[in-house]
């Protein structure tokens, strides 16, 4: 996953809202978001190459997402899959703070990542390139996470924030079209605003839009998670091909936790 917008306890009706794009090589096999066959209370996509996932939610209100931290100078060969950090939390029973602390202690073994884990009570952020010694509890508010640290003002992050900060949450249970439209923003940043992460300029340009289209690497899916305080909650996902065209759409409503 390469960009995610989160609104945590920012609206009384919707205590959790996540809108995210997963960017990946088109050749990497995966399954679209669905209830797990052996754990139908967990809804997420599955990376069938390494077995983990990038974003998911449980019907009990646990959720997690991960993004890679992009820095070519710190790559660890044969490091364990970061997707397991998400799937292990979703399938486990540890409280978010406890799990985040465990990940913090083991984070040196992984390539760069940012992880957010939470439930309907609390949310925690941990990144193994953040320079912090302990996880950070996220206060009620709105956040954007891409391939640097939480709320780093990369152009793509700022664009998505501006688009979704004005979103009317009152219409979420009517239509998600405005959300998916915001996630499909293909605007490339100007060269002077591009981050320097060790990539060639052409590659930095390609990765600078919230929605990425190219033959080999791009936005594979857009996902929305919305937990409602009273009423059905939802995970909705749209998948895309290498040309950026929609290939499938899955909506998974569920009762959600009693908040």
Is 80 exceeded by the pLDDT of residue 13? yes
Residue 96 resides in a domain: yes
pLDDT band of 1, cuts 50, 70, 90: low
Measured CA to CA in angstroms, residue 42 lies from 59, 151, 173, 191 at distances of 7, 28, 21, 41
Report the sign of the C-alpha dihedral through residues 90, 96, 102, 107, in that order. Answer: positive
Look at the chain and count its residues: 259
CATH (domain of 169):
3.60.60.10
Residue 138 resides in a domain: yes
Residue 72's pLDDT is 86
Residue 48 resides in a domain: yes
Residue 226 resides in a domain: yes
Structural domain harbouring 59: 3-254
Residues paired with 125 in a beta bridge: 116, 136
Question: How many domains does the chain divide into?
Answer: 1
Measured CA to CA in angstroms, residue 89 lies from 17, 53, 61, 100, 196 at distances of 19, 11, 12, 9, 32
Is 70 exceeded by the pLDDT of residue 258? no
Mean pLDDT of 205-221: 98
CA dihedral 131→126→154→245, nearest 10 degrees, is 150
Q: Strand, helix or coil at 74?
A: helix
Mean pLDDT of 217-237: 95
Taking Cα atoms as reference points, which of 1, 26, 182 lies closest to residue 82?
A: 1
Q: State in Å, rounded, how far the first CA of the chain is from the last one.
A: 28
Which single residue is written with the structure tokens 């703070």?
A: 97
**Diameter over CA atoms, the chain:** 49
Q: Strand, helix or coil at 171?
A: helix
Residue 26 resides in a domain: yes
Residue 259 resides in a domain: no
Is 90 exceeded by the pLDDT of residue 174? no
Residue 184 resides in a domain: yes
Residue 58's pLDDT is 97
Between CA 180 and CA 210 the distance in angstroms is 11
For 18-61, how does the pLDDT look when each residue is reduced to its tens digit (9 = 90+)?
999 999 999 999 999 999 999 999 999 999 999 999 999 999 99
Mean pLDDT of 196-221: 96
Residue 167 resides in a domain: yes
């Amino acid at each position: 996953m390469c960009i995610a917008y989160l609104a945590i306890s920012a609206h009384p009706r919707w205590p959790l809202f996540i809108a995210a794009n997963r960017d990946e090589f088109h050749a990497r096999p995966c399954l679209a978001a669905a209830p797990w066959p052996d754990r139908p209370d967990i809804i997420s996509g599955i990376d069938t190459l390494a077995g983990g996932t990038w974003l998911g939610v449980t019907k009990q209100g646990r959720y997690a997402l991960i993004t890679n931290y992009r820095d070519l100078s710190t790559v660890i060969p044969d490091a364990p899959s970061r997707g397991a950090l998400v799937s292990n939390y979703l399938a486990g029973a540890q409280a978010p703070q406890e799990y985040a602390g465990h990940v913090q202690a083991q984070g040196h073994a992984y390539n760069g990542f940012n992880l957010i884990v939470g439930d309907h009570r609390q949310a925690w952020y941990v990144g193994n390139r953040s320079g912090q010694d302990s996880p950070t509890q996220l206060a009620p508010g709105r956040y954007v996470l891409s391939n640097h640290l939480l709320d780093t003002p990369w152009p793509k992050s700022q664009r998505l924030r501006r688009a979704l900060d004005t979103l009317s949450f009152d219409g979420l249970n009517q239509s998600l079209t405005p959300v998916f439209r915001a996630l499909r923003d293909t605007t490339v940043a100007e060269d002077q605003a591009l981050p320097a992460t060790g990539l060639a300029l052409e590659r930095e340009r390609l990765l600078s839009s919230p929605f990425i289209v190219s033959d080999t690497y791009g936005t594979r899916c857009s996902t929305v998670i919305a937990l409602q305080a009273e009423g059905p909650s939802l995970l909705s996902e749209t998948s895309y091909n290498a040309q950026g065209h929609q290939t499938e759409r899955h909506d998974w409503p569920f009762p959600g936790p009693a908040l």
